[in-house]
Structure 1
Amino acid sequence: MKHAVFVDGQEGTTGLRIHEYLAGRDDVEVLRIAPELRKDAAERARLLNAADIAFLCLPDAAAIEAAALVTNPKTCLIDASTAHRIDAAWSFGLPELAAGQRERLRASKRIANPGCHASAFILAMRPLVDAGLVPRSLGVSATSITGYSGGGKKMIEQYEAGGDARLMAPRPYALGLAHKHLPEMMAHTGLEVAPVFMPVVGPFYKGLAVSIPLHRAQLAAQADAPRLHAALEAHYAGERFVRVMPLNDGATLQDGFFDVQGCNDTNRVDLFVFARGEQVLLMARLDNLGKGASGAAVQSMNVHLGVAEDLGL
């Protein structure tokens, strides 16, 4: 039996990529809305309630409205917006988060897809907080550099039109220190203090890397680099989509430059620990359109349906 899937917001960057993931699968039937009816509430409600899985690839307010249209208790919503990421009634769509997370995703009919920056940050930090190596009260800082596709259609068009020299340089943003991913970065790591977080858009299409600098004096007494690295390895042992790279990864150090695009076209996250003396640098990279968005949504769908987690990915 095929599972009926509907993407509300099928023309956006995330929606289009979800359709690409689903295109080669014979276990799903993709429901599509006629272009002229994309804003018709009655038709959207019909398709949402006809679906076994409905992806909400919409702005926050529209995602909340769409969720309210669902009356079928069998419809599982996977929301790609930020609207429900810290809502206790919604499960967080990161299967690798902690023990029992997959069981929660299988049982839940409401799944909030993580943000791209947040996914990288959480996957790097959560095991260290859980292991008591990073204090929950620690005020950490993080920088994330990402490709311009993360800004959606308007930003993609701006970059690909060319002619603006400002776009050729990295562009830090969210300088008001209130980036929309901060609440989930706290809620799903267990940190009690909001990180000082600076995202940066770079002049490349996709790829993302978060870096988190730490001083040994800030950490638990036993938290040297080998223990931090070992905690990551233990947490992600056997995980299909998370790869913990060797401590002070030789290939990266030999090249001298970090490849932000090294996970592009995969659903993988690579985690790194670099250390020298009393200083440690954590890094996490992913494809902001893959594990950072559409790939993560499809992975959560697979977990919920009980099919192979990497199906279509």
Structure 2
Amino acid sequence: MSYKIFVDGQEGTTGLQINEYLAQRDDVEVLRIDADKRKDPAERKRLINASDITFLCLPDDAAREAVALADNPATCIIDASTAHRVHPGWVYGLPELERQQRERIRTSKRIANPGCHATAFILALRPLVASGLLPAGTQVAAHSITGYSGGGKKMIESYRNAQRIDAPRPYALALTHKHLPEMRAHTGLDIAPIFVPIVGPFYKGLAVTAYLHPGQFARKATPAEVQKILADYYAGEAFIRVHPCDLEAATDGGFFNVEASNDSNRVDLFVFGNEERMLVVSRLDNLGKGASGAAVQSMNIHLGIDETKGLV
């Protein structure tokens, strides 16, 4: 069976990557919009409603406008923008979130694709909150270092054209990053984290580091016990690897490689530290599991296809 897929915003970073995934498939037909009609509401509406799946790779306001064009009840919208990630009428497109999430994705016609920083943060913290180890009222501090592709076309151009941007650059220093609502809502935390993202001088790759003090825990726990909570929660997951508590094996002489999950839909989770202070690190490809790969994974689940199809 062939499914009809439309990518609204196909020229953006996420849209281009989704098209690369789809180009390798023999079970989908990609509906193309003529370049001169990309902003034509009538043509976009026609293609959206002719599709089984429409991916929205658009700014938030444009994504909301696109949703308003959809009147075919059989069309599933997967929105890669921030617009609907905590909207009560939309399902969050993170299958590993909890046991019921895949069924929600399978049956919903409105799926919000998670943010890259949020995916890494949520997958690191959700099991600890769900287990009761980390109380919901805890305010967690975290940072994320990411490749510049996460900033889209404008940032990519600035890095490629600039004579020198060699240093990492923290941003969102007002502590109001747009991923905070989903980071709070989908971990089960009552309080948004203190979160600082950092853009590095490399194309892609992302690692979120959450800082945990055992005094925050509801009961005593060692790094090995925290690692076991993560490993048990994600047992059997195709795209999540929970690594043993082995600093030497997880690093290169103590240095952590942010790019080591690139070109995959994989999330690698690590626990570092000791009984007095700990780190949980979550690493992914910000263009893979952090964006386009996650969208294709949700598409597969919704269509009843093996969710790993076309992904590594």
**2:11 — aligned with what?**
11
- Residues 222, 274 of structure 2: 8 Å contact kept: no
**Counterpart for residue 222 of structure 1:** 220
Distance in 2 between residues matched to 1:195 and 1:14, nearest whole Å: 26
1:178-224, Cα deviation, whole Å (9 max, x unpaired): 00000000000010111100000000000000001111111122332
Whether the 8 Å contact between 2:86 and 2:185 is mirrored in structure 1 is yes
Q: Distance in 2 between matches of 1:237 and 1:48?
A: 37
Distance 1:153 1:5 in 2: 23
Which residue identity is paired with 1:193?
Answer: I
1:146 matched to which residue of 2? 146
Contact 2:214 2:220 in 1 (8 A): no
Following superposition, the deviation at residue 256 of structure 1 comes to: 1.1
Shift, 1:82, TM fit: 0.3
Question: Matches of 1:17 and 1:48 in 2, distance apart?
Answer: 19
Structure 2 Cα separation of the partners of residues 277 and 131 of structure 1: 18
- Give the match for residue 97 of structure 2: 97
Deviation of 1:225 after TM superposition, in Å, equals: 1.7
Question: What's the counterpart of residue 42 of structure 1?
Answer: 42
Structure 1 segments of 4+ aligned residues over 6 angstroms from their partners: none
CA contact (8 A) 1:248 1:275 kept: no
Residue in 2 that maps onto 1:202: 200
Paired residue for 2:268? 270
Contact 2:115 2:290 (8 Å CA) reproduced: yes
Q: Could you tell me which amino acid in structure 2 is paired with residue 276 of structure 1?
A: N
Residue 88 of structure 2 aligns with an amino acid whose one-letter code is: A
**In the TM superposition, what is the alpha-carbon distance from 1:74 to its structure 2 partner?**
0.3
Q: In structure 2, what residue type is equivalent to 1:248? A: D
Q: In the alignment, is the contact (CA less than 8 A) between 1:113 and 1:296 conserved in 2? A: yes
1:254 to partner: Cα distance? 5.5
Deviates more, 1:241-250 or 1:210-219: 241-250
Of all paired residues, the percent bearing the same amino acid is: 65
User: Which amino acid in structure 1 is aligned with residue 293 of structure 2?
Assistant: G
Using the size of structure 1 for normalisation, the TM-score is: 0.98
Q: How does 1:163-182 map to 2 (within 5 A)?
A: 163=163, 165=164, 167-182=165-180
Alpha-carbon contact 2:223-2:275 (below 8 Å) kept: no
Q: 1:182-197 to 2 correspondence within 5 Å?
A: 182-197=180-195
Query: Which amino acid in the other structure matches residue 137 of structure 1?
Result: G
Q: What's the counterpart of residue 60 of structure 1?
A: 60
Alignment partners' CA distance in 2, 1:155 and 1:9: 17
**1:42 counterpart letter in structure 2:** A
Counterparts of 1:225 and 1:312, CA distance in 2: 35
Contact 2:221 / 2:275 at 8 angstroms: preserved in 1? no
Q: Secondary structure of the residue that 2:17 maps to in structure 1?
A: helix
> How far apart, CA to CA, are the structure 2 residues paired with 1:223 and 1:301?
38
Partner residue of 1:108? 108
Separation of aligned partners in 2, 1:206 and 1:311: 23
Counterpart-to-counterpart distance in 1, 2:308 and 2:274: 36
CA positional deviation for 1:255: 2.1
- Report Cα offsets for 1:76-103 as digits up to 9, x if no partner: 0000000000011100000000011000
**RMSD of aligned alpha carbons:** 0.9
SS at structure 2 position matched to 1:263: coil
Whole-angstrom distance in 2 between the partners of 1:312 and 1:32? 20
Assess if the C-alpha contact under 8 Å between 1:118 and 1:185 holds in 2. Answer: yes
Which of 270-279 and 201-210 deviates more?
270-279
Structure 2 counterpart of 1:280, one-letter code: M
Q: Is the 8 A contact 1:249 1:272 kept in 2?
A: no
SS in 1 for 2:62: helix
- Superposition deviation, residue 258 in structure 1: 0.4
Matched letter for residue 277 of structure 1: E
Tell me which of 257, 260, 266 is aligned to 1:259. 257
| Aligned equivalent of 1:28 | 28
* SS of the residue 1:309 aligns to: coil
**Cα deviation, residue 24, structure 1:** 1.1
1:228 deviation in Å? 1.1
Which amino acid in 2 is paired with 1:242?
I
TM-score normalised by structure 2 residue count: 0.98
Tell me the distance in 2 between the aligned counterparts of 1:171 and 1:254.
23
Where does structure 2 lack aligned partners over 5 or more consecutive residues?
A: none
Which residue pairs with 2:242 in the alignment? 244
